[in-house]
């Protein structure tokens, strides 16, 4: 009986070990790279998901951003613009082919732009192409009006170059010049990509790439921990702790131009008062927001644009105060904000100071709003947070006091569109109804300025003016990160989310 | 099982615990060592101990204080859901069963429509339409909870109205309303009370579920605490463990109370359940 029991226990142990061993063998092949990311249509003209093609290494653009958001030539050998700023001459690199073997010449690029502009209004509106002439590898583009930011716009995913002669059964252009060719796409689930050995920069290091979409962020973290994924983008900020500095894993992160900020309703009693706005700014603990609320994935900032760019830097924000609750309390008291009735809420001219904060669900925003409301309560301000699906409608209606909001400031590497929309009188995203004629004049000058140095100078002047009155309160720029196994090479987070898989991406 | 005295004693014990819990939840907020909404980023993700007996969450808020502050909203929201569902459902069921005919047919088809969808799915849809907030969460769950009372009451009314004492009352010239209130309602109330107490735990899980999905309260509520702590489950398990434990214990108490009420008020129902 005793022998039987021992044998049974031994068998059970052996079975358990076998099962464990089976689990351990569930590894990804080294020539296949498995990446957790969004999946979607790779066609650059497809609109909302235009960046998928570029992120997955299927599609490339003529120009691309470097790590400091400067525009660099990519498929381009040389380019120039005429003196009147209307005609651009672009010479393409030799030897670039699409993944079906067709040559990528000026005619193919012209056809690609024509198709995208016909299908996507934003591309047409920003590129402003009037006509194109193709001659071998030389493409001449004439614009409808001077467009200083044309190379910037040609970095945008909608400017991805595709072979329009080879559309798939649904009419999508899926053949690009990138290192990987799309072979299968299962909506909301996965994409299968094969290496394209004729890639112009060299043979891709991985033979196959699988992109897996896992909608639940915590499940994505577990998949990477378990080894089902080699790397993953878009994890929750709390998940950084599971991979940053943990044996077997590493992360790559970069400061993006997405700014987390507060904008004020300038038409409301308290938030229309510059002194009150300054006191609110003094309640913002930028360092801790960036370190705790997004778990270190933030870079504290006072300026609108990242300090690494030519347009940003905290020297532009001399009048923007540091975190100082005591100072804020004193400032409010000096300016007639006092708790006369002893109910814990300060009043101004007999009116209790209460603020309606609106925000939406993007990671870090509800937390920032709660932290701000808690700090404002310590100043005796009755602040309440309302989390909405989207704040734009309420912003336009003006039914709020301040909004905690996040926005990409350099979508094309250039400050004009953000400043035009946010800071110009009547701008489409100027929900706070901020207005300054001096700022408007500088923005109008920026619209037509071709000189890069002068553009940067104008952007800095505008930001200095806007920040001087604490008209907005920038809190931190978001760092995006990719978590990966420590054996992964050639996968780097860029300041824009356009580039993930490259020809060098592989597992050692 | 302990006999009738044993079951009554059990009921008394659970009822006392339940009442104690209700009273406690009313004053719990005052007992909290910290302000439940106070954000202290320097104290974020602290393990249980010292100034924070159950640790802190990702914003440095005291979990023990938040559990205490959330007790009243979590527990009283469940009670309100049950009361609204019970009152509305009983009224509809009694009217439907006593009136009969077309009214009964229409009301029951409406009930069928509500029952055609899983309760929580319908609640999520209603809460989504009404917008986030504890009040809207309660309304969403009550909007789907009343149907069980309507069906139950109607079935009792249908059988009770054939009873001789109801016929006698009718012959005696009593009005329909008087017969409903004086003769039918008192006799149908027992099974309704049993269903109500058993519904408490479901309502508790329902409101926590809606909060977890962000469709109910955004302040200290046990379900929303679970949701907020979910991404910290590996790093700070206490952010999830203690709110979950609070929901678990209170739900268990509600279930035990419901079972005891059923054992006392409707012993045949208890036997049937055991046989099933």
Q: Can you give the pLDDT at residue A6?
A: 56
Percentage of residues in chain A having pLDDT higher than 70: 94
Which of A178, A276, A273 is CA-nearest to residue A501?
A178
Facing residue for A242 by CB, picked from B44, B59, B234: B234
Across the range A300-307, mean pLDDT stands at 93
Question: What distance lies between CA A49 and its chain's CA centroid?
Answer: 14
Q: How far apart are CA B231 and CA A451, in angstroms?
A: 47
Contact A210, A223 (CB under 8 A): no
The pLDDT value given to residue A496: 84
The answer, yes or no, to whether residue A17 has pLDDT greater than 50, is: no
Is A376 at the interface with chain B, CB within 8 A? no
* CA–CA dist A250, A493 (Å, integer): 12
Assess whether pLDDT exceeds 90 at residue B97. no
Give B160-188 pLDDT, tens digit per residue. Answer: 888 888 888 888 888 888 888 888 888 88
DSSP calls for A66-128: -TTS-EEESSEEEEEE-TTS-EEEEEEPTT-B-TTS-B--HHHHHHHHHHHHHH-HHHHHHH-
CA distance A328 to chain B (A): 18
pLDDT 10s digits, B11-30:
899 999 999 998 988 888 78
∠ Cα B19 B23 B26 (to 5°): 145
Q: Which residues contact A502 (CB under 8 A, 6 or more apart)?
A: A57, A179, A490, A491
Residue A19: which pLDDT band, with cuts at 50, 70 and 90? very low
Q: What is the CATH number of domain A43-166?
A: 3.40.190.10
Which of B44, B218, B231 is nearest residue A292 as measured by Cβ atoms? Answer: B44
A475 alpha-carbon distance from chain centroid: 16
Predicted local confidence at residue A27, as pLDDT = 41
B39 touches chain A (CB under 8 A): yes
Who has greater pLDDT, A217 or A290? A290
pTM of the model: 0.75
Helices B63-99 and B238-265 pack at an angle, to 10 degrees, of 30
Nearest to A41 by CA among A176, A227, A156: A176
Integer Rg of chain A from CA: 26
Q: Which of B114, B111, B113 is nearest to B96 (CA)?
A: B111
Chain B residues close to A289, C-beta within 8 Å: 41
Residue B275, both tokens: 């046989």
Q: Which whole number is the average pLDDT over B79-93?
A: 92
**pLDDT score at A21:** 42
Instruction: Give residue-wise pLDDT tens across range A317-373.
Output: 888 999 999 999 999 999 999 998 888 899 998 899 999 999 987 778 988 999 999
Task: Report how far residue A155's alpha carbon sits from residue A492's, in angstroms, rounded to the nearest whole number.
Answer: 18
What is the DSSP annotation of A393-410? HHHHHT--SEEEEEEES-
Could you tell me the two tokens for A507? 């597992």
Helices A416-423 and A452-468: angle between axes, nearest 10 degrees: 30
Mean pLDDT for the stretch of residues B210-236: 81
Q: Do domains A43-166 and A180-253+481-507 have the same CATH topology?
A: yes
Gap between the Cα atoms of A356 and A370, Å rounded: 12
Q: How far is the alpha carbon of A475 from chain B, nearest alpha carbon, in Å?
A: 15
Nearest CA distance, A105 vs chain B (angstrom): 49
Here the tokens at position B161 are 């109205």
Yes or no: say if B258 and B194 are a contact pair by the CB < 8 Å rule: yes
Please state, as a whole number, how many other Cβ atoms lie within 10 Å of the Cβ of residue B50: 9
Chain position carrying tokens 């929900």: A431
Average pLDDT over all residues of chain B: 85
Cβ neighbours of A54 (radius 10 Å): 28
Sheet hosting strand A138-143, strand order edge to edge: A76-81, A87-92, A138-143, A129-135
- β-partners of residue B148 are none
What pLDDT is stored for residue B31 in this prediction?
86
User: pLDDT tens digits, residue range A216-264?
Assistant: 888 899 999 999 999 999 888 888 889 999 999 999 988 888 999 999 9
> Alpha helices of A283-433 — where are they, by DSSP H?
286-288, 325-334, 365-378, 392-397, 416-423
Cβ partners under 8 Å of residue B29, min gap 6: B36, B68, B69, B71, B72
- Give A438: exposed, middle or buried? Use CB within 10 Å, 0-12, 13-18, 19+: exposed
CA of A432, closest CA in chain B: separation in Å? 25
Per-domain boundaries in chain B = 24-40+50-275
Q: How far apart (Å, rounded) are the C-alpha atoms in residues A262 and A405? A: 6
Q: Using a CB–CB cutoff of 8 Å, tell me whether A475 touches chain B.
A: no
Nearest chain A residue to B227 by CA distance is: A218
**What is the distance between the alpha carbons of residues A430 and A264, in angstroms, rounded to a whole number?**
10
pLDDT over threshold 80, residue A159 = yes
For residue B276, pLDDT over 60 is answered with no
| Least confident span in A213-217, A346-350, B236-240 | A213-217
H/E stretch holding A210 reads strand A208-212
**Chain A residues near residue B234 by CB distance under 8 angstroms:** 221, 242
Buried b / exposed e over A333-367, threshold 16 CB at 10 Å, is eeeebeeeeeeeebbbeeebbebbbbbbeebbbbb
Q: Provide the 8-state DSSP code for A225.
A: H
ipTM, 2 dp = 0.71
All residues at 6 or more sequence positions from A188 whose CB lies less than 8 Å from its CB, including other chains: A39, A213, A215
pLDDT in tens, A60-102: 999 999 887 889 999 999 999 999 889 999 999 999 999 999 9
Specify the CATH class of A256-479 in words: alpha beta
Containing H/E element for B158? helix B134-160
Q: Which CATH number fits domain B24-40+50-275: 3.40.50.10740, 1.10.3720.10, 3.30.56.10, 3.30.230.70?
A: 1.10.3720.10
Unique residue bearing structure tokens 């553009």: A455
CA atoms lying within 13 Å on the CB side of residue A400: 26
Confidence class of residue B7 from pLDDT cuts 50, 70 and 90? confident
**pLDDT class of A109 with cuts at 50, 70, 90:** very high
Put simply, whether A246 touches B (Cβ < 8 Å) is no
Kindly report the nearest CA distance between residue A251 and chain B, in angstroms.
Answer: 17
Q: How far are the Cα atoms of A213, A215, A250, A307 from residue A487, in angstroms, in the given order?
A: 22, 25, 9, 31
- Residue A327 tokens read as 């100072």
Dist CA A28 CA A229 (whole Å) = 8
pLDDT digits (tens, 9 = 90+) for B54-76: 999 989 999 999 999 888 888 88
pLDDT band at A452 (very low <50, low <70, confident <90, very high): confident
Residue B39 pLDDT greater than 70, yes or no: yes
Q: Taking residues B37-61, what's their average pLDDT?
A: 91
A218 interaction partners in chain B (CB closer than 8 Å)? 230-231, 233
Q: Per the CB < 8 Å rule, is B41 touching A285?
A: yes
Q: A371 and B59: CB-CB below 8 Å?
A: yes
Q: How far apart are the first and last CA of chain B?
A: 18
pLDDT exceeds cutoff 70 at A18: no
Residues contacting residue B133 through CB under 8 Å, at least 6 positions apart:
B216, B217
Pairing between β-strand A32-36 and β-strand A231-233 as defined by DSSP bridges: parallel
CA distance B200 to B77: 10
List Cβ neighbours of B119 (8 Å cut-off, separation of 6 or more): B144, B145, B206
Summarize pLDDT for B182-194 with one digit per residue, the tens: 888 888 888 888 8
More confident residue, A495 or A279: A279
Between residues 384 and 403 of chain A, which touch chain B (CB distance below 8 Å)?
385, 387
The domain A180-253+481-507 having CATH identifier 2.60.40.10: the answer here is no
In the predicted model, is pLDDT for residue A134 greater than 80? yes
CA distance to partner chain A, nearest, from residue B229 (Å) = 10
pLDDT at A8: 54
- Please name the residues in contact with A508: beta carbons below 8 A apart, sequence gap of 6 or more: A30, A487, A488, A489
**Side-chain-side CA neighbours of residue A358 (13 Å):** 21
B44 at A interface, C-beta within 8 A: yes
Q: What percent of chain B has pLDDT over 70?
A: 93
Gyration radius from chain B CA atoms: 22
Per-residue pLDDT band at B32 (split at 50, 70, 90): confident
CB spacing of B231 vs A289 below 8 angstroms: no
Q: Which residues of B touch A373 (CB under 8 A)?
A: 37
Instruction: Give me the DSSP letters along A470-488.
Output: TSEEEEEEEEEEEEEETTE
Measured between beta carbons, the chain A residues lying within 8 angstroms of B218 are 366, 385, 387
Question: What residues contact A420, with CB distance under 8 A and at least 6 apart?
Answer: A427, A443, A447
């Amino acid at each position: 009986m005793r022998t039987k029991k021992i044998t049974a226990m031994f068998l059970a142990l052996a079975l358990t070990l076998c099962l464990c061993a089976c689990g351990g063998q569930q590894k990804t092949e080294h020539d296949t790279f498995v990446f957790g990311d969004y999946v979607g249509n790779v066609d650059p003209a497809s609109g909302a998901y235009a960046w998928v093609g570029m992120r997955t290494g299927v599609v490339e653009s003529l120009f691309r951003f470097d790590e400091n958001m400067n525009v660099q030539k990519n498929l381009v050998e040389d380019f120039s613009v005429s003196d009147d700023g209307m005609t651009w001459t672009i010479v393409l690199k030799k030897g670039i082919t699409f993944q079906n073997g067709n040559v990528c010449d000026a005619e193919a690029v012209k056809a690609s732009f024509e198709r995208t502009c016909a299908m996507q209004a934003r591309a047409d509106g920003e590129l402003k192409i009037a006509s194109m002439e193709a001659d071998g590898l030389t493409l001449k583009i004439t614009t409808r009006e001077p467009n200083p930011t044309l190379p910037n716009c040609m970095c945008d995913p909608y400017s991805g170059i595709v072979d329009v002669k080879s559309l798939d059964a649904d009419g999508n252009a899926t053949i690009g010049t990138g290192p990987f060719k799309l072979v299968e796409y299962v909506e909301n689930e996965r994409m299968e990509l094969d290496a394209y050995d004729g890639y112009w920069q060299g043979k891709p290091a991985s033979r196959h790439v699988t992109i897996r979409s896992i909608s639940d962020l915590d499940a994505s973290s577990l998949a990477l921990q378990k080894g089902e994924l080699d790397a993953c983008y878009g994890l929750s900020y709390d998940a950084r702790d599971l991979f940053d500095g943990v044996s077997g894993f590493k992360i790559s992160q970069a400061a993006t131009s997405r700014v987390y900020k507060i904008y004020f309703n300038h038409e409301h009693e308290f938030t229309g008062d510059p002194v009150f706005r300054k006191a609110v700014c003094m309640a913002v603990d930028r360092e801790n927001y960036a370190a705790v609320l997004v778990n270190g994935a933030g870079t504290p900032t006072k300026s609108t644009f990242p300090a690494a760019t030519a347009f940003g830097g905290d020297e532009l924000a001399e009048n923007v105060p540091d975190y100082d609750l005591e100072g804020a309390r004193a400032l409010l008291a000096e300016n007639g904000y006092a708790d006369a009735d002893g109910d814990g809420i300060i009043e101004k001219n007999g009116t209790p100071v209460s603020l309606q904060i609106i925000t939406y669900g993007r990671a870090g925003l509800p937390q920032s709003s709660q932290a701000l409301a808690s700090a404002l309560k310590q100043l005796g301000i009755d602040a309440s947070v309302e989390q909405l699906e989207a704040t734009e409608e309420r912003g336009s209606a003006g039914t709020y006091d301040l909004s905690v909001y996040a926005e990409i400031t350099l979508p094309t590497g250039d400050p004009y569109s953000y400043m035009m929309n946010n800071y110009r009188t009547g701008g489409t995203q100027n929900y706070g109804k901020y207005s300054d004629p001096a700022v408007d004049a500088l923005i109008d000058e920026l619209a037509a300025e071709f000189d890069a140095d002068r553009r940067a100078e104008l952007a800095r002047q505008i930001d200095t003016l806007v920040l001087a009155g604490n008209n907005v309160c920038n809190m931190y720029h978001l760092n995006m990160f990719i978590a990966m196994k420590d054996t992964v090479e050639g996968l780097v987070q860029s300041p824009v989310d356009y580039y993930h898989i490259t020809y060098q991406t592989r597992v050692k | 099982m302990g006999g009738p005295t044993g079951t009554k004693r059990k009921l008394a014990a659970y009822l006392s615990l339940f009442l104690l819990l209700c009273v406690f939840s009313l004053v719990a907020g005052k007992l909290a060592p910290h302000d439940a909404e106070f954000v202290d980023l320097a104290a974020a993700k602290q393990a249980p101990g010292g100034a924070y007996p159950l640790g802190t969450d990702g914003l440095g808020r005291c979990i023990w204080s938040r559990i205490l502050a959330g007790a009243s909203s979590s527990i009283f929201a469940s009670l309100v859901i049950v009361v609204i569902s019970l009152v509305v459902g009983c009224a509809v069921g009694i009217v439907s069963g006593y009136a009969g005919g077309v009214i009964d047919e229409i009301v029951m088809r409406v009930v069928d429509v509500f029952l055609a969808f899983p309760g929580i799915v319908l609640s999520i849809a209603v809460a989504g339409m009404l917008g986030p907030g504890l009040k809207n969460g309660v309304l969403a769950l009550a909007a789907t909870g009343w149907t069980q009372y309507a069906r139950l009451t109607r079935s009792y009314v249908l059988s009770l109205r054939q009873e001789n004492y109801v016929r006698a009352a009718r012959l005696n010239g009593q009005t329909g309303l008087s017969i409903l209130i004086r003769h039918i309602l008192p006799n149908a109330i027992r099974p309704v009370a049993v269903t109500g107490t058993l519904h408490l735990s479901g309502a508790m899980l329902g409101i926590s579920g809606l909060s977890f999905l962000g469709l109910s309260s955004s302040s200290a509520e046990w379900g929303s605490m679970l949701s907020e702590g979910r991404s910290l489950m590996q790093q700070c398990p206490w952010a999830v463990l203690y709110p979950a434990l609070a929901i678990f214990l209170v739900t268990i108490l509600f279930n035990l109370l419901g079972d005891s009420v059923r054992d006392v008020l409707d012993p045949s129902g208890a036997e049937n359940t055991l046989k099933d």
